[in-house]
Structure 1
């Protein structure tokens, strides 16, 4: 299985980028993991919010295949503990799923077309975090899930 993380905009903090890269490298021992970055829209400061979401949505949808299982990282999504996330991932792997795609939208969220394409919504917390931080938190939780599945000593309960 390949797990992709689709992001709108690059990470502009080199400290966060280094931590994300560290977890990405660690994940390579368990799964084919890739980060796909969609560039920020040009002249977006002059755009209406709905138009910005539509244009970002078009770019997001171009990165998703019809056979992909798509999880939208959304504040209104379901929440899992780390162990529940690990179990959820195991179930996806057991089905023979080839591509699992997680998507972090732009600053205003997703277009209706992206919501319609998503198979599931997932929230990392009821608190609000910057899109930059979500990238790190998600990548770390994905790594944690695989260490739980592998009975490795990273996660403590």
Structure 2
């Protein structure tokens, strides 16, 4: 199975980029992982929130393989602890799917088309974080989830 994280816009902070790269490299020991960054929409200041969401959604949907399972990282999604998330990952690995795709939306969330296409929604917190921070938090949680599944000492219960 391959896990992909799709996000809108580049990360400008070099320290965050370094940490994201570190956890991405660590994940490579457990699973095929790919971070796919979609450039910010040009002239987005001239678009309404709905128009921007629609354009971002179209770009994201073009990145999906037909059989991919799509999970939106959404503030109204299901919340779970790290052990629960590791079980969630195991369930998908056991199901035989080839690609599990998580998406961080743009500044205004997701389009209706994205919600219709999604197989689920996951929330990392009720708090709001920057899109760049969420990348790091999510990739770290993926790594943590795999260390839990392998009974490795990274996660202290």
TM-score (normalizing by structure 1): 0.99
Cα deviation, 1:86-137, whole Å, max 9, x if unaligned, reads 0111111001110000000100001000111110000000111111110000
Aligned ranges 1:76-91 → 2 under 5 Å: 76-91=76-91
Tell me the matched-pair count. 157
State the partner residue of 1:39.
39
Shift of 1:67: 0.4
Shift of 1:46: 1.8
Gaps of at least 5 residues in structure 1 are: none
3-state SS of 2:139 partner: helix
State the partner residue of 1:156.
156
Gaps of at least 5 residues in structure 2 are: none
Shift of 1:61: 0.4
Shift of 1:17: 0.5
Q: Where has structure 1 moved over 3 Å in runs of 4 or more?
A: none
Q: In structure 1, what is the Cα distance between the partners aligned to 2:136 and 2:34?
A: 14
3-state SS of 2:73 partner: strand
3-state SS of 1:114 partner: helix
Q: In structure 1, what is the Cα distance between the partners aligned to 2:60 and 2:24?
A: 21
CA RMSD between the two structures: 0.6
3-state SS of 2:143 partner: helix
